[in-house]
Amino acid sequence: AQSVTQLGSHVSVSEGALVLLRCNYSSSVPPYLFWYVQYPNQGLQLLLKYTSAATLVKGINGFEAEFKKSETSFHLTKPSAHMSDAAEYFCAAISGGGADGLTFGKGTHLIIQP
């Protein structure tokens, strides 16, 4: 069975500072990985996904993530935080061989300080 761990239920950064949200996966085979964002009272929107085509993945709104197999990680970064980035972020994985659904981490709430 696979699992996804997001370090830090809340992360606070200043506007203009680097955003780093951590995600580690545990799987017998390297999974495909996704980052979703959820704004208050809304559904989830895909930010980016790792499909094995490239280890550095660029997404929407200036976010990117790097897949590191040796560290079983897929951390999300953005060079300069904006107030509009305040939201809940979820890392998710899928590797097949079982239920065809995403396994989600518990989420990280990103707070942007003015």
Partner 1 sequence: NAGVTQTPKFQVLKTGQSMTLQCAQDMNHNSMYWYRQDPGMGLRLIYYSASEGTTDKGEVPNGYNVSRLNKREFSLRLESAAPSQTSVYFCASKAGLALTDTQYFGPGTRLTVL
Which residue among 30, 64, 72, 104 contacts partner 1 (CB under 8 A)? Answer: 104
3-state secondary structure of 69: helix
- Choose one: 12-20, 29-37, 56-64, 65-73; the region binding partner 1 (CB under 8 A): 29-37
96 binds partner 1 (CB under 8 A): yes
Structure tokens belonging to residue 40: 């208050």
29 binds partner 1 (CB under 8 A): no
Q: What are phi and psi of 45, to 5 degrees?
A: -125, 135
43 binds partner 1 (CB under 8 A): yes
Residue 86: what residue type? Answer: A
Residue 92: what residue type? Answer: A
14, HSE (Cβ side, Cα atoms, 13 Å): 2
- List residues binding partner 1 (CB under 8 A): 4, 9, 32, 34, 36, 41-46, 49, 51, 90, 92, 94-96, 99-107
